[in-house]
Structure 1
Amino acid sequence: MATARPGLISRLVLLNPGCGLEPTPDLAAFGAQEDRLLEAGEVEAALVVSGGHDLPYFQQPARHLAAELASVTAVHLGWAGHLPSMERPEEITALILGRLTESPANGATPRLPVHRSRPEHPELVVQP
């Protein structure tokens, strides 16, 4: 809307905006490699994080990946929007580091700093 009707916008901040441009060669290569790894089943363990206040457009892929990947921990942060790493950077850093440092071989579930602000969706809070 900002580019189609700039007269309606007086101030605008965009973080990592997507606006329908063709992907650059580096982005296309990244996406192709990501798809190859997922399709080949070469992802040993994944952490999929979604925000309770994010758009359904971003929540749906998180649910899909959580259902399709073999070894996944799905975390739905009821308090989060689209950028939880900006909203609560310390918690997200701890979440990521906890997942990266756990050993998938021992079957341990990381201790995740999850806040249940939307208990009506308990199935999405933590699913080891």
Structure 2
Amino acid sequence: MAGDGPAVLLLHSSVCDRRMWDGQWDALREAGYRVVRCDFRGFGETPCADAPYSNLTDLEELLDELGIDRVSLVGSSFGGNMATQFAALHPERVHSLTLLCPGSSLHEPSADLVAWGEREEELIESGRLDEAVELNVDTWLGPDADEAARAKVRLMQRNAFELQLAPEEEVQPTTIEVDVRNAVAPALVFGGRHDVDDFRRIAADVAALLPNAEHRELPWAGHLPALERPAEVSELLIAHLAEVWKA
């Protein structure tokens, strides 16, 4: 947590952890925001749960503990899905949404994405974690990602695999039924032209479903634009936040 001003909570992709926002952290703080980033359970420095839990309840408790009544949510992929669901569950607490290649619980995965997941699972179960990591790095970073970005994703994904494989028994998060059409906060939904087809469709579908959303496709982006062009994404985030907090 850093800075003063309106609160902005950054929610990471399931390929990464809170460190994926290193490239936006200082820019958001210097732009006058109180910036918060967290690790979901099983990522970064947060171990897996040993009892039933909900990611959405975790976010609610985090904001309560920090004394944040109203927040702008910025979410990447999985974090974008969590941001959308939280905004639908607690519309009074969310001032705006900025979603970068978001996931969606409503999306029916294509045969290609299912096959990709099966390949990842096969590599993990056979102990070939290095290959599973490289599969993720190669799939989710677009052509503008430099070697530093690839190294960072490699580090974060490897850490997530190790954390998630550590418990003897896996505890899955509790699902809370949410109608995302209740997420009335102004939303800007970015897709990436170089992202996999499923997530390009999800970005458009989420924007169409939300009652107050705009969809933009970034012509240069893969699935993790915050890591691919950090400075440009900082400018996009700051511009949207300035617009919604001014309104």
Q: Give the TM-score of the pair, scaled to structure 2.
A: 0.32
In the alignment, which of 191, 208, 214 is matched to residue 67 of structure 1?
A: 208
Superposition TM-score, scaled by structure 1 size = 0.57
> After superposition, where does 1:56-95 map in structure 2 within 5 Å?
56-95=197-236
Q: Which amino acid aligns with 1:96?
A: L
| Residues 1:56 and 1:86: Cα distance change in structure 2 (over 3 Å) | same
The change in CA–CA distance for 1:97 and 1:5 in structure 2 (over 3 A counts) is same
Aligned equivalent of 2:133, options 12, 21, 24: 12
Q: Distance in 2 between matches of 1:10 and 1:104?
A: 44
Structure 2 gaps, min length 5:
1-118, 137-152
Moved over 3 A (4+): 4-7, 9-19, 21-25, 103-106
SS in 2 for 1:79: coil
Residue by residue over 1:18-59, the C-alpha shift from the partner in whole angstroms, topping out at 9 and shown as x without a partner, is 99x97743xx46xx38x35x24x2422001111001001211
How far apart are 1:90 and its partner, in Å?
0.9
Match for 1:44 among 185, 189, 213? 185
Q: CA RMSD in A?
A: 3.6
Q: Structure 2: which amino acid aligns with 1:64?
A: D
Label 1:23 to 1:69 Cα distance change in 2 as closer, same or farther (>3 A).
Answer: farther
Q: CA deviation at 1:10?
A: 5.6
Residue 120 of structure 1 is matched in structure 2 by none
- The one-letter code sitting in structure 1 at the alignment partner of 2:225 is P
* Residue correspondences, number: 98
Structure 1 CA distance, aligned partners of 2:240 and 2:233?
11
Identity percentage of aligned residues: 30
Partner of 2:217, secondary structure, is: strand
Which structure exhibits the higher relative contact order, with contacts defined as CA atoms closer than 8 Å and separated by 6 or more residues? 2
Quick one: structure 1 residues 104 and 79, their matched pair in 2 at CA, closer, same or farther if it must change by over 3 Å? same
If each structure's helix is expressed as a fraction of its own residues, which one has the higher value?
2
Aligned residues of 1:45 and 1:104 also touching (Cα < 8 A): no
* CA apart distance, 1:69: 1.4
Aligned 1:96-111 pairs, distance under 5 A = 96-103=237-244
Whether the 8 Å contact between 2:183 and 2:210 is mirrored in structure 1 is no
Question: Unmatched 5+ residue regions in structure 1?
Answer: 107-128
**Pair 1:43–1:54, CA change in 2 (3 A):** same
